[in-house]
């Protein structure tokens, strides 16, 4: 991998690879050492959430990426997506993310905060539930550069969530965003 760092690779595309812990650690290490990297595509890589969190922690301080695609990988651990009767009786209105899933979302917040060049973030079919979708979509109003956020195919993308995103973005920029409605699958 050392010769790749010296080669000034700007785009790393490792699509549909079945990563082991060791091979994924090599990818993360390479990304840490290559200041020239602008685009990363790890879609369809069958990476488990714990490994993906390791990657997200490393890139959370990155300030040079323009495009990141993690599509068709599982980002979150499984958790309840509906409130229990006890929670509803107690007045809870939204499912709270687990500690692990909160950490994943926090990494995205840090990443978008520090990376002033990020334009494209593809999180298609990554298993995001509604609280995670809303948290990540709120980045659209915080980032000065992020222009394209793919969230299609996630459990948390419903018509209500799309309307919520439209109101958030519309209220921040005073322009009508282009939002593709969720597919009826």
Q: Any residues with CB less than 8 A from the CB of 81 and at least 6 apart, and which?
A: 95, 129, 130, 155, 156
**Would you call 79 helix, strand, or coil by DSSP?**
coil
pLDDT band per the 50, 70, 90 thresholds, residue 149: confident
CA atoms within 13 A on the CB side of 84: 6
Q: Which CATH superfamily is domain 7-77+94-173 in?
A: Ribonuclease Inhibitor (3.80.10.10)
Q: Any residues with CB less than 8 A from the CB of 87 and at least 6 apart, and which?
A: none
Domains of the chain by residue range: 7-77+94-173
**Would you call 112 helix, strand, or coil by DSSP?**
helix
**What is the number of residues in the chain?**
185
Over residues 34-73, the pLDDT tens digits come to 888 899 999 998 888 999 999 999 888 788 899 999 999 9
């Amino acid at each position: 991998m050392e010769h790749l760092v010296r080669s000034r690779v700007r785009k790393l595309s490792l699509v549909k690879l079945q990563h082991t812990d060791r091979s994924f650690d090599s990818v993360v290490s390479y990304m840490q050492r290559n200041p020239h990297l602008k685009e990363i595509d790890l879609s369809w890589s069958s990476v488990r959430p714990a490994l993906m969190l390791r990657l997200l922690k490393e890139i959370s301080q990155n300030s040079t990426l323009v495009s990141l695609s993690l599509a068709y990988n599982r980002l979150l651990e499984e958790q309840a997506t509906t409130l229990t009767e006890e929670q509803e009786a107690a007045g809870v209105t939204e499912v709270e993310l687990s500690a692990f899933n909160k950490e994943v979302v926090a990494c995205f917040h840090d990443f978008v905060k520090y990376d002033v060049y990020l334009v494209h973030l593809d999180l298609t079919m990554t298993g995001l539930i509604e609280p995670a979708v809303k948290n990540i979509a709120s980045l659209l109003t915080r980032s000065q550069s992020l222009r394209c956020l793919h969230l299609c195919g996630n459990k948390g993308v419903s018509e209500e969530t799309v309307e919520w995103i439209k109101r958030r973005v519309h209220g921040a920029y005073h322009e009508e965003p282009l939002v593709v409605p969720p597919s009826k699958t």
